[in-house]
Amino acid sequence: MRQSSLVVVANRLPLDDSAARDGACEWRRSPGGLSGALHAILQQTPATWVGWDGEVGLAPRLPDLGAVRLRPVALTAAEQAGYYEGFANSTLWPLYHDAVQQPVFQREWWETYRSVNQRFAEAAAEVAGKHAAVWVQDYHLQLVPQMLRELRPDLLIGFFMHVPFPPPELFMQLPRRVELIRGMLGADLVGFQREQAAHNLAQLAQKLLGAEASDDAIIVDGRTVRTGAFPVSIDVAEMRALATRPDVVKQVEQLRHDLGEAKRVLVSVDRLDYTKGIEHRLTAYRELLRDGHVKVRDTVLVQVAVPSRERVESYRELRDRIEGEVGRINGEYGRVGEPAIHYLNQPFTRAQLAALYQTADVMVVTPLRDGMNLVAKEFVAAREDGAGALVLSEFAGAAAELSQAFLVNPHDVDDLKQTLLRALEASPEDRAARMEAMRRHLAEHDILAWARAYLTELDHTGRLARRFIGRA
Ligand code: ADP
Ligand code: F6P
């Protein structure tokens, strides 16, 4: 097995099933922020990516993707249920997102989560060269840093949490809270989207381990673990190039024509997840229609909701509720050939997304809680025309950077309604000024800047970043 000097460890490999099975491999991103972000920086990097291919049973033999070697980790059906659907996505995911859905604690999930983390750590230890850097991603693999340190003390270990990391009041509910904190603190550098998260970790390390901790360093077992905020971003250059591609420009014209040239178009694009605030948004839109502030003849909502984690009951129930509500709204307010909402429950290509973003008069991104939300950034990057308005939840990590958006509290349906109207009715000058400021910010804070900042902090010398971030 070839050993690499950079190893990425993430729950998922950046492939979907068909790409993995048919051998004709190209980067096929599974919808989700993490693989999109890492995909952008790793295409030309001689690294190894350790992850799960999304299927149960024997791990497939996978060809390299560009310069990246893929090292699959196999999961059994019981492991998929206990580790991925159970502890990761029914315990940690809801708890870390402000418990907007009640977290489920099932004792037997813990052992599966622990043993799958051990397998990921062993796979990383196997493919990492001497003194390599290993970059572990997200809440699925929170125990891996410490496990890896025990197996390979020579490694430089980074951990990055893509989702929010909650305050002690919430985290303290976790039955296995001490192990989870110790697991992360096996890293040399723990990165988060927001500074508040680093502060939360410091408080928890003091409380649970009696560690000496500040918002940028925690001393544990005589070792200093650095912490900090590194807001993740997108491949701005890719999205800008897509937006101006002739076939995409044609798609935009076609979409505008199909939706009705004279209509104001609102667009939302989400994984179908209860953290994304889709139900609150539909309630606000229904009330705007009911009150006559918005009329089907002059306004339309396009809601893309790509299926996600469909074997988890709460996700299936959510899908049923959303589809019921879209049906009710269209039944009540739609006209023949003119629905109030176009609802699309399917994956889109990057080009189709770039076209859709450019069709929006108002992009509506209103999660109840989100680590970052890359859709908001993709929308801003796609607007080469400098037009369009962004309605953005205060509870998305992106709000800290895109402060010129129309910010909203999505838990407050009245605020949501008023903000949607404000964005729809804003003057072209106001929208353009806001968009320009956000585009300026993004141009300097793209995905390469994120990786460079993180890796530079990880090894202190900048050598890792220079070596691996091709376009640095
Ligand atoms: P999360 O990581 O919670 O899914 P983000 O907004 O950060 O949320 O990332 C979502 C990513 O998934 C974005 O890159 C977006 O373009 C992509 N995506 C969302 N919906 C679709 C879809 N229908 N088809 C393909 N990609 C999608
Ligand atoms: O960080 C959020 C996250 O869990 C990522 O790991 C992933 O990009 C995305 O959500 C999609 O989730 P899943 O891998 O469960 O489909």
Pocket test for ligand 1, best of 269, 278, 310, 357 (most atoms within 8 A of CB): 269
DSSP per-residue codes, 298-317: TEEEEEEEE---TTSHHHHH
Is ligand 1 within 6 A of the CB of residue 296?
Answer: no
DSSP per-residue codes, 149-202: HHH-TTSEEEEE--S----HHHHTT-TTHHHHHHHHTTSSEEEESSHHHHHHHH
DSSP code at position 400: G
- Looking at the chain, the whole-number percentage of residues with pLDDT higher than 90 is 86
Is ligand 2 within 6 A of the CB of residue 97?
Answer: no
Any idea which ligand is nearest the CA of 16?
2
d(CA 387, CA 320): 35
Give the model's pLDDT for residue 472.
42
**CB-based contact 56:77 (threshold 8 Å):** yes
The domain segmentation of the chain, as residue ranges, is 4-232+447-469, 236-444
pLDDT band of residue 58 (cuts 50, 70, 90) is confident
Kindly report the pTM of this predicted structure: 0.95
DSSP per-residue codes, 248-270: HHHHHHHHHHHH-TTSEEEEEEE
Is ligand 2 within 6 A of the CB of residue 372?
Answer: no
Query: With 60 as the cut, is the pLDDT of residue 20 above it?
Result: no
Query: Are 4-232+447-469 and 236-444 the same fold in CATH?
Result: yes
Neighbours of 307 (CB within 10 A): 14
Query: With 70 as the cut, is the pLDDT of residue 49 above it?
Result: yes
Structure tokens at 212: 């000496």
Query: With 80 as the cut, is the pLDDT of residue 132 above it?
Result: yes
Q: Distance from the CA of 470 to the center of ligand 2, in angstroms?
A: 25
What is the tens place of the pLDDT at every residue in 143-187?
999 999 999 999 999 999 999 999 999 999 999 999 999 999 999
d(CA 101, CA 93): 9
Which amino acid residue places its CA nearest to atom 1 of ligand 2?
A: 162
Supply φ then ψ for residue 255, to 5 degrees: -60, -45
Could you list the active site residues? 162, 370
Fold of the domain spanning 236-444: Rossmann fold (3.40.50)
What is the tens place of the pLDDT at every residue in 29-39?
665 667 777 77
CATH superfamily assigned to domain 4-232+447-469: Glycogen Phosphorylase B; (3.40.50.2000)
pLDDT, mean of residues 331-336: 97
Q: Distance from the CA of 302 to the center of ligand 1, in angstroms?
A: 15
Is ligand 2 within 6 A of the CB of residue 309?
Answer: yes
Is ligand 2 within 6 A of the CB of residue 5?
Answer: no
Structure tokens at 314: 């709460």
Which amino acid residue places its CA nearest to atom 11 of ligand 2?
A: 32
What is the tens place of the pLDDT at every residue in 269-278?
999 999 999 9
What is the tens place of the pLDDT at every residue in 78-125?
999 999 999 999 999 999 999 999 999 999 999 999 999 999 999 999
